[in-house]
Structure 1
Amino acid sequence: MRLRGMIGVAVLSTTFIVTGVAAADASPAVDQDFAAFARIYAKHGSDYASTTGTWVEACDIERDGNGVYGEFWYGSTGHTQVWDGNGSDGGCGNATLAGKVTRFKVCEDHVGCSDMVYTDF
């Protein structure tokens, strides 16, 4: 007997999201069991920056003429900015860092930045 047709498989995933922190001493805790799978976000309007530990991304979602970048601190002394170089056109700016991100924020030119987001990778 031959089986005809297609069998579809749906895969659901869970994303851990942090949208900001009100105070520097009130950092959200990332459960270490989930840290390997976590993607943490900082949002400013519709624009965002995110990290999975050493991989980082900045995305300009708004067509408003304001550039967007993520500012990331990693390891014990590392610091960098990652820009979404093509504005709100498709795609985002990303990079792989030499250490795990300890804190980050997303900024929009001429508008401001999100609250600092603290990680515990």
Structure 2
Amino acid sequence: MHLLEKETTAGLANGGKSMPRLRTGHPRARRLLVVAGIALSAVLMLQTAANAHDVTANGPYDCGPFHLTLCSRGGVTRIHTEVTACDLYADGRGAFTLYWLYNGFQGRVRDGNGSASGCGDSIVTGTDNPVWYIQSCIDGGSPAIYCGAKIPA
């Protein structure tokens, strides 16, 4: 069978010229393809929605003997309402995450226990005014702070 077939010229209203038409295949196969396409689209949409709100920002690579080790990590979770801050290196400098809300408000969340197990976290807003940007930082000694890139949440 060919993908394109020609109709016979007998009884055509277009002056006897034949027109190519596309073969559509078996109806059950078409239904199966449509159902598979819809199912795949649904799975991709759910996976994207589930992962869309958890964002991680690396802080500066300014720790260790050669200042090449990652110092801190920050994040936003819970549908852009909770901010986290993790101190990754025991050097006496504190880690925090700067955040900016949709309305322009800026704040910070600290990792209160230093590089010990566990991170600092706080629900800082509601879903009506979500966290818009985050930036992971460390204290470099007054007044200096060192930060990684400011990224969209």
TM-score over 0.5 (shorter chain): yes
Contact 2:83 2:121 (C-alpha < 8 Å) held by counterparts: yes
CA distance in 2, matches of 1:95, 1:118: 18
Higher RCO, 1 or 2 (CA under 8 Å, sep at least 6)?
Answer: 1
Contact 1:74 1:97 (C-alpha < 8 Å) held by counterparts: no
CA change 1:35–1:82 in 2 (3 A) is farther
Q: What CA RMSD, in Å, does the superposition of the two structures yield over aligned residues?
A: 2.1
Structure 2: give runs of 5+ residues left out of the alignment.
1-44, 60-69
CA change 1:109–1:35 in 2 (3 A) is farther
Amino acid at match of 2:136: V
Residue 34 of structure 1 aligns to a residue whose secondary structure is helix
Amino acid at match of 2:48: F
Where does residue 67 of structure 2 map in the other structure?
none
State the number of aligned residues: 89
Where does residue 63 of structure 2 map in the other structure?
none
CA distance in 2, matches of 1:48, 1:35: 23
Superposed CA offset, 1:19-74 (max 9, x none): xxxxxxxxxxxx99624434211112141000121111000011111100000001
Where does residue 114 of structure 1 map in the other structure?
148
Moved more, 34-43 or 104-113: 34-43
CA change 1:35–1:68 in 2 (3 A) is farther
* Bigger fraction of residues in helix: 2
Identical positions, percent: 29
Greater CA radius of gyration, 1 or 2?
A: 2
TM-score by length of 1: 0.65
Structure 1: give runs of 5+ residues left out of the alignment.
1-30
Q: Is residue 74 of structure 1 aligned with residue 92 of structure 2?
A: no
Where does residue 90 of structure 2 map in the other structure?
63
Residue 100 of structure 1 deviates from its aligned partner by 1.2
